[in-house]
A and B are shown apart, each in its own frame.
Chain A
């Protein structure tokens, strides 16, 4: 019941922007609606993490520890993204970059996007899960094209066509699972396409059919995860959308898409009697994604695209970790949480920087730390978190994955370590002048005013930083291990 209430509340939030006609009031009401979604999300998502049995309702919803974790992450990041949207949109309204109808559309689509993500991660029915994941694409296409610039239109078109084509291929995976279930006599009016029921019966499914089904699911849904070579939409879409939307796209949508892949992995592993086949594929795609993303990070000229490629890199790392067995799966869970918080924090900061400098090019932005002291400081802390510098939880995940894989898959781990070195070099080369060099004379797109006052985006960034450090301490002290193990048991 709590899940249904959460979904309905999130859906209703899409209508809130049309209640009022004053921007300030629209923004305030959106924050209230988002806070309600956060509260309901925590109530729905936290209990399964701490040992409550999975919640199933009417064959529609199924919330186990993994779903619960993603519900919590989506709820938190949508809330901080809505908080960050306030200063961001009000500033853009003042500068007449956006209009009141656009602000309304922004909040309505944001709420629909969050609803679609929530439905994706709580759906028991694989068919509804597919529909919800496709709905995330449909809801965000106009958010990617929000500014109607030529580059935004290009990004939105690629996003729509490439992701929809990928999801269409993912649907072939669904069709094959359905056929495998029918052949095994497990498909009935009662079970339908319910993942929880299929998972119980999957050991009777045709292994050859499930192998093909997983290959389609990995390539299809992997497109939405941003795995190379299906990633080409990701840097364009994530860099073209308004910053709080980029935060959601990078921070939690990729996780929701990965969740779908892992639902198919669980079925395939059950049918094959082990995870060797799916682990091998995930490992291969993971290494390829890491290495290719690292190469693009080194040569970036745009800071939002840098963050977008970094998201692809982290998803590659999660895929690689998932291919390393149970210890790798622990690393993957820590990485998913850490990346969601760190990357969304950085996109919030990127939004502030873009509003002040009016450019996303490294060549036109420098000295952020001097011009925007709060944003610069928090952005720097976020970069350290992203680069796995302790006390970042990503340090733990990367250490664990390397330790887990160095004996069994030395080549893959060496490739990953090589990619990390390249990524570290790329970030140091690009971000050091960006944050600390003197403000360029005439290099900026326009005269840049110095100084800023503390606003909601800084509060959101600080909250993410506190959560990251807190999570690191919880993992270090072992307090977080029980819930991590519960999630790991589902995905490995």
Chain B
């Protein structure tokens, strides 16, 4: 019996749901936990796609994503938060209710953009990936602390990774590995900077990073 497409649709819907929930999480542990859940969904999506398309390289990428995004990155973020004594509560520029509203608007905008693209078969999947990208942006812009911004970037990258899976499955495996390795290096650098900022200002709030301004 041929493998069904339905699990992919369910996984994509769960990705969308996780992104929506992420937008209004204001506790670090909850935010990182949801990111980890999203990583596991991506791994499941990759694994099922590998079965469906009979592409072994996708399975190897799934293993790599599981290790990096599912295990290493969340634990790195939480360990740095623990070591620096960063506050569990994450401040934002807008209220949580408004964050959810913005996320909803982002999903609507993503659906509109996806339906305008010349990919009629994949509109739902592209809507999910664009939603992840836009909600990642939302986290980057609305969070007033470096941890929230870091997770925002990772969610945005998840969206781009998912877009790649949906519309360009043939991206060479070496490139995918290179991108994931770059992402890991970026997170290591970001956490090293977070440590330095915490040491310098006794806080990871972005309020302390607004001195360089020409306006």
Contacts and interface: CB of A to CB of B under 8 A. Distances in A.
Nearest to B188: A138
A138 B172 contact: no
B172 to A, nearest CB: 5
Interface of A is mostly: helix
A160 to B, nearest CB: 6
A8 interface: no
Contacts of B186: 134, 137-138, 160, 164
Interface of B is mostly: helix
Contacts of B178: 127-128, 131
Given A161-B153, A165-B156, A305-B214, A127 B193 contact: no
Contacts of B197: 153, 157
A397 interface: no
B168 A171 contact: no
A127 B153 contact: no
Q: How many A residues touch the partner, as a band?
A: 35 or more
B160 A209 contact: no
Nearest to A132: B178
Given A127-B171, A131-B182, A172 B200 contact: no
A154 B172 contact: no
A5 B201 CA distance: 45
A209 B175 CA distance: 21
B185 to A, nearest CB: 5
A154 B210 contact: yes
Given A127-B172, A208-B118, A209-B118, A175 B209 contact: no
B125 to A, nearest CB: 13
B146 interface: yes
B5 interface: no
Contact of B182 (A134, A141, A148, A176): A134
Contacts of B189: 138, 141-142, 160
A388 to B, nearest CB: 24
B1 interface: no
Interface in B179-214: 179, 181-182, 185-186, 189-190, 192-193, 196-197, 200-201, 208-212, 214
A145 B185 contact: no
A138 B168 contact: no
B1 to A, nearest CB: 28
Contacts of B149: 161
B94 interface: no
B46 interface: no
A235 B160 CA distance: 28
Nearest to B192: A142
A311 B189 CA distance: 26
B140 interface: yes
B157 A168 contact: yes
Contact of B160 (A142, A175, A236, A299): A175
Interface in A128-178: 128, 130-131, 134-135, 137-138, 141-142, 145, 148, 150-151, 153-158, 160-161, 164-165, 168-169, 171-172, 174-176, 178
14 contacts: A131-B181, A135-B185, A138-B185, A138-B189, A150-B200, A153-B200, A161-B149, A165-B156, A169-B160, A176-B167, A179-B168, A193-B171, A212-B117, A235-B214
